Structure 1
Amino acid sequence: MGSDDPWFREQYPLKHVAKQIFWTLAEGRVLRDAQSVLFTCEEERLRARGVFNGHPYKERVVLFGTADPEGDPERQKRDFISAFSELQGRKFLLFLSRIHPKKGCDLLLQAFAELAPELSSDLDLVIAGPDQVGWVPELQSLAQRLGIAARVHWPGMLKGDVKWGAFRSADALILPSHQENFGFVVAEAMACFTPVLVSNKVNIWREVEASGCGFVEPDSLDGTRNLIRRFIALPAEGRAEMASKARSGFLKYFDIEVTARDFARAIGFDSGAPLSSSVLIKND
């Protein structure tokens, strides 16, 4: 559960008190009695420790992934550019997620604006995703004040081939989140040979770092600025190598075939243990 991350305790202390009571009376007991509590990555497991008091449980990390995107990559890129023709011939960094304060969109705008004099004039920023809290107008005003409004694009929520085309067309995915239980969009970008630039609050940052497919920095203005600066400093061959490692990292850590086998081992399916064994997966 996302509430097992200490970020929620810090941001919503009163709600955390209520959740602690529920944990003590009910949920914690269920986890205590489970054969295993499964976490989707190492960082998620570590951050969950000590968030709630009482009821220790047995931990295990099980790989968690997504299906490899289908379809013709070149057609998907054409579909994206056709839908957003203002990006024709432009390079761009892609933010693709819910537009929410915990995602660090304001940091991204500020960092991009501060680095604008260093950036190639044909490099833009695309901030895509559903705006569930009505934050976009405020962010657009911020971009205007920062003098980068003409270089920031707001395509809204992307789906299907247009979404995959956005991943494939981007120079890199950037996600400076303050809290991210897993980060599916990171795995999806990696599947599309797209380098990823993430904060160390995106819980699969360790896998990103191990894969060599991107950069990891703190979820701060300095950290977000460093993500962009480090990436644009790479020569063309360095970016190409990072793109190749993104795909390799996806196949190693996040491909659904790999993760399904890991889950089968966790529940004893491949060792003859009964499938009725109690297993809990802690994730949003």
Structure 2
Amino acid sequence: MKILRVIPSMDPKQGGPCQGIRNSIPAQEKLGVINEVLTLDDPASAFLKQDNFIINAIGPSNGPYSYCSGLKDWLKNNLERFDLIIIHGLWQYHSYTTYKIWRELKRKSRKAPSIYVMPHGMLDPYFQRAKSRRLKAIRNWIFWKLVEGNVLNKTSGVLFTCEEELLLARQTFSPYNPRLELNVGYGIQPPPYFKHIHSADFLDSCSGLDHKNYWLFLSRIHPKKGVDMLINAYTQLEQENPHLPSLVIAGPGMETAYGKYLRKLAEGKKIYFPGMLEGNSKWGAFYGCNAFILPSHQENFGIALVEAMGCKKPVLITNKVNIWREIDEGNGGLICDDTVSGVKNMLQKWLNFSSDKKLKYGENSYKIYQSNFEIEHASYKMIEAFKNNYNYERTVIN
């Protein structure tokens, strides 16, 4: 089987989807599956040189819609080389254009590949209901009626990373009638074994933090991640408990208006902003923290969250993180509402636990990772889903 992954960008700063691709391709190679990536990035981008699989970079793209003049011709000349296409993400030029060229090929040839859409949480109703996104919600509704509804309803099927994402997607747009809904799961590569250089590099990256008594948030700095809510909850708790662990908030985006607002909000607190962490520094941050916190208002999966679980860390999250059920059922952490009071009460509850109980949560967290989110398991599940639906698709999708 040969798969083409179509995605606007493979820049690690863009968040989880590109990292998910980087995690899954090596694991699928072990199953005999060949992958290529088609991206609208500038081929001279430095971040494209780190990967060992084929990346066809045909950009750069332009504007918020990520228009790329070379996309149509590339697809027309190459689609027939593949057995299956996965469109990663929605609302940009790559999704409808890939669907359109595939549809043209489908009308001409019975040898056209299968094509699936992986929305990566972009069908979550949060994006249509959030007050800060009213104009974007209107835009998305128009796009749905004119463009994206066809992409979701007329391709071979839609791929979801977990059951919660699948169920939430049914609440957002209409008509919503995909031919197939497949929960294919998601996973990460196993974290590296701990080395002292991990801690040393992290402490070098996090200026001012000279100890290991800290809680960790590590993700893209964005309003939907609830970082302002976390800082406010932490501030309230610190007034009641001066011996509170420090708080490390790591991730790209601190140069944005929201990032600058967070710095101001955290002034005078034991809160550190080391920026984006990679390599040894990132793993040092995971291994050294007391707990990992992800207070998102919407989170489809949370790769950094699962990486923390792979490092045997307990996780403290909101019930808007789509894998919260697995974590709750396995006692791998604490779950709260996505409010300041909810986060504060969760942190207070965590503080009151004994050291042994905290350690047990970390052990449970690792077991959940092993059972649900190891990349080999997720890759096998995805490929089996494709194989099981192959005959159905050849019969029904015309």
TM-score (norm 2): 0.63
Secondary structure at 2:189 match in 1:
coil
Q: Which residue of 1 aligns with 2:320?
A: 201
Q: What is the aligned length?
A: 272
Give yes or no for the alignment of 1:183 onto 2:302: yes
C-alpha change, 1:46 and 1:73, in structure 2 (3 Å) is: farther
Q: Report the alpha carbon displacement of residue 118 of structure 1 after superposing the two structures with TM.
A: 4.3
User: Separation in 2 of the partners of 1:105 and 1:30?
Assistant: 33
Secondary structure at 2:257 match in 1:
coil
Give yes or no for the alignment of 1:89 onto 2:222: no
Secondary structure at 1:261 match in 2:
helix
Q: Which residue of 2 aligns with 1:8?
A: 127
User: Separation in 2 of the partners of 1:76 and 1:94?
Assistant: 15
Q: Which residue of 1 aligns with 2:261?
A: 138
Give yes or no for the alignment of 1:54 onto 2:175: yes
User: Separation in 1 of the partners of 2:262 and 2:211?
Assistant: 25
Indicate conservation of the 8 Å contact 1:267/1:277, yes or no: no
C-alpha change, 1:76 and 1:16, in structure 2 (3 Å) is: same
Give yes or no for the alignment of 1:266 onto 2:385: yes
Indicate conservation of the 8 Å contact 1:119/1:232, yes or no: no
Q: Which residue of 1 aligns with 2:190?
A: 68
Secondary structure at 2:187 match in 1:
coil
Secondary structure at 1:37 match in 2:
strand
C-alpha change, 1:64 and 1:277, in structure 2 (3 Å) is: farther
Letter in 1 for 2:137: H
Secondary structure at 1:3 match in 2:
coil
Indicate conservation of the 8 Å contact 1:38/1:60, yes or no: yes
Q: Report the alpha carbon displacement of residue 150 of structure 1 after superposing the two structures with TM.
A: 4.1
Indicate conservation of the 8 Å contact 1:71/1:161, yes or no: no
1:43-81 per-residue CA deviation (whole Å, 9 max, x = no partner) reads: 111211131111412322111011112253443123222
Higher relative contact order (CA 8 A, sep 6+): 1
Letter in 1 for 2:336: E
User: Separation in 1 of the partners of 2:168 and 2:289?
Assistant: 31
Q: Which residue of 1 aligns with 2:201?
A: 79
Letter in 1 for 2:219: S
Letter in 2 for 1:49: R
Give yes or no for the alignment of 1:223 onto 2:345: no
User: Separation in 2 of the partners of 1:50 and 1:160?
Assistant: 38
Letter in 2 for 1:161: N
Indicate conservation of the 8 Å contact 1:4/1:48, yes or no: yes
User: Separation in 1 of the partners of 2:234 and 2:188?
Assistant: 30
Secondary structure at 2:249 match in 1:
strand
How do residues 221-260 of structure 1 correspond to structure 2 at under 5 angstroms? 221-260=340-379
Identity value in percent? 38
Gap runs ≥5 in structure 1: 279-284
1:163-186 per-residue CA deviation (whole Å, 9 max, x = no partner) reads: 011011000111111111221111
Q: Report the alpha carbon displacement of residue 161 of structure 1 after superposing the two structures with TM.
A: 0.8
Give yes or no for the alignment of 1:24 onto 2:145: yes
158-167 vs 94-103, which deviates more? 94-103
More helix by share: 1
Letter in 2 for 1:91: N
Letter in 2 for 1:141: K
Indicate conservation of the 8 Å contact 1:128/1:155, yes or no: yes
Give yes or no for the alignment of 1:153 onto 2:275: no
Secondary structure at 2:247 match in 1:
strand
User: Separation in 2 of the partners of 1:40 and 1:78?
Assistant: 34
Computing the radius of gyration over CA atoms, which structure comes out larger, 1 or 2?
2
1:232-255 per-residue CA deviation (whole Å, 9 max, x = no partner) reads: 111011111111111111111111
User: Separation in 1 of the partners of 2:143 and 2:269?
Assistant: 49
Q: Give the RMSD, CA atoms, in angstroms.
A: 2.3
Q: Report the alpha carbon displacement of residue 104 of structure 1 after superposing the two structures with TM.
A: 1.1
